[in-house]
Chain A
Amino acid sequence: MEYTVAGYGLIWLSLIVYAWRTRRRLAEAERQLASQETE
Chain B
Amino acid sequence: MDRRSPLVAWLGIAALTLMLIGSIVGLFIVQADAEMGDVQRLMYVHVPAAWTAFLAFFLVFIGSVLYLVQRDQRFDRFAAACAEVGIVFIALTLATGMIWGKPTWGVWWTWDARLTSTALLLAVFVGYLAIRGFTDDPDSRARWSAVVGILGFIQVPIVYLSVVWWRTLHQPPSSPRSVSSEILWTWMLNFVAFLLMFAYLVAQRSRLARVEAELEALEAYDV
Contact = CB atoms under 8 A, between A and B. Distances in A.
Interface of A: 1, 3-8, 10-12, 14-15, 18-19, 22-23, 25-27, 29-30, 32-33, 36-37
17 contacts: A8-B23, A8-B41, A11-B96, A14-B88, A14-B91, A15-B19, A19-B204, A22-B204, A22-B205, A22-B208, A26-B207, A26-B211, A27-B3, A29-B215, A33-B215, A33-B218, A36-B219
A7 B214 contact: no
Interface residues on B, range: 35 or more
A29 B99 contact: no
Interface of B: 3, 12, 19, 23, 26-27, 38-39, 41-42, 45-46, 49, 85, 88, 91-92, 95-96, 99-100, 102-103, 197, 200-201, 204-205, 207-208, 211-212, 214-215, 218-219
Contact of B215 (A1, A7, A15, A32): A32
Given A8-B41, A10-B99, A11-B49, 8 more contacts: A4-B27, A4-B42, A8-B27, A10-B96, A12-B19, A15-B92, A18-B85, A27-B3
